Structure 1
């Protein structure tokens, strides 16, 4: 699955000179919030990106890059063709599990690869590496600028912190990138344990990531909830570890049934999570 909304649900193969239109989104199913009544948790493990922090719409940044840089190439490389090639290249990259694992630990290198593949598909032979690097860095700046806490998220964390629950932050990505966000938004004080993939060398959905977090919180799986937006990494990974898994649908997109993953509960915000905690006042 994607890394912090780095790409969308579309899948495609980059073809030199392709003029295909962006595919229409696959219809999604909105599922009910509640399943069977869960036990009150003693600990909650939270994802970071698109659970607490809104990473924004990546397509906005892709379009901005195309508008800014398409003029550096032949007249045939219009912003629209450049965007189509980038969409194919990014989906090719992030839909490969090995590339995704390596790419989220070095996003700048991943983005260079995506830009290089897109240009090759457009027939741009041996593009200047300085230009590829400039595009990757510019895109990184745009994506970083788009990150902001979801409305009410920090207040909800404060309430969770004051509820007596143990809290952990479990996030995939590089040490530098994820800790920069944690420090910038002053999130560390909310958590009893913070776990970044880049620090340990393994992340979600690896069972070791969940076991490590549970041990740090000194709770058993049945006493913990996992809250996250990624159906494969957060939800399926937690369920395999025996943890009650709450899917965060902060953007109201509905459940994508193609992944074959059914969360134990669905919420649209941390406020809603607070309201649905069993045995606790909202």
Structure 2
């Protein structure tokens, strides 16, 4: 029976925040605006209402830009192809897992067109067996349905599988809830006592591959 390794997309396999920061810094400079770009990138969720252009409406509001949020979203989607990068070791790690017989899936929250564009921009689709995007599947992490769909489509059981991600509330809580081993990509953050508790804590995604491969 093949084994299952699931990965979050944004800031787990690819540096989405890095790409967004780079694009926003250029945008703010072009408009002659002032403000802490990194703070905004860390807190864009406060503008979230469920629409694809929420972060971009937040940008206009926060930096007081004379710009159309929809046009900013369209510009970012075009330019992110050149700004997005997989984290170091990700492509080699995915290939090593596949060579060892693992079935690999991306399970990501987000909107289908946007998330698919990111996956294709960095060539990740060739390295995975299944992609489940919340907007497409009608289920958002940490709901169990999206993990079960990934398992069924990959042809590998949840039991004994892994979920690797940077979100405690989506990836770790969701993975724990369906019985997956979980690894939290901490990116320098601290784990609170009331947070969902991962089985393993890693500094970067590259560590996950050796961790998974070393387990019987």
TM > 0.5 fold call:
yes
How many residue pairs align between the two structures?
213
Mean alpha-carbon deviation: is it higher for 195-204 or for 255-264?
Answer: 255-264
Deviation at 1:179, TM superposition (A): 1.6
Partner of 1:34: none
Deviation at 1:245, TM superposition (A): 1.0
Partner of 1:264: 199
Deviation at 1:158, TM superposition (A): 0.7
Contact 1:89 1:115 in 2 (8 A): no
Structure 2 residue corresponding to 1:92, chosen from 46, 50, 67:
46
Between the aligned partners of 1:219 and 1:113, the Cα distance in structure 2 is 40
Partner of 2:174: 237
Structure 1 residues 89 and 152, CA gap change in structure 2 (3 angstroms): closer
Cα deviations across residues 58-112 of structure 1 (Å, max 9, x unaligned)?
4444343222224xxxxxxxx3358699679835214xxxx2xx23xx2xx2134
What SS does structure 1 have at the residue aligned with 2:34?
helix
Between the aligned partners of 1:267 and 1:236, the Cα distance in structure 2 is 16
Aligned alpha-carbon RMSD (Å): 3.2
Q: Which has the higher contact order (CA 8 A, sep 6+)?
A: 1
Between the aligned partners of 1:190 and 1:60, the Cα distance in structure 2 is 26
Is residue 2:180 matched to residue 1:226? no
Structure 1 residues 269 and 84, CA gap change in structure 2 (3 angstroms): closer
Deviation at 1:189, TM superposition (A): 2.6
- 5 Å-filtered alignment, 1:184-263, equals 184-249=121-186, 252-257=187-192, 260-263=195-198
Partner of 1:45: 6
Contact 1:89 1:118 in 2 (8 A): no
What SS does structure 1 have at the residue aligned with 2:159?
helix
Consecutive unaligned residues of structure 2, counting only runs of 5 or more, are none
Between the aligned partners of 1:259 and 1:141, the Cα distance in structure 2 is 40
Deviation at 1:184, TM superposition (A): 2.7
Normalised by the length of structure 2, the TM-score is: 0.80
Deviation at 1:44, TM superposition (A): 0.8
Normalised by the length of structure 1, the TM-score is: 0.63
Consecutive unaligned residues of structure 1, counting only runs of 5 or more, are 1-40, 71-78
Between the aligned partners of 1:154 and 1:85, the Cα distance in structure 2 is 29
Between the aligned partners of 1:85 and 1:246, the Cα distance in structure 2 is 26
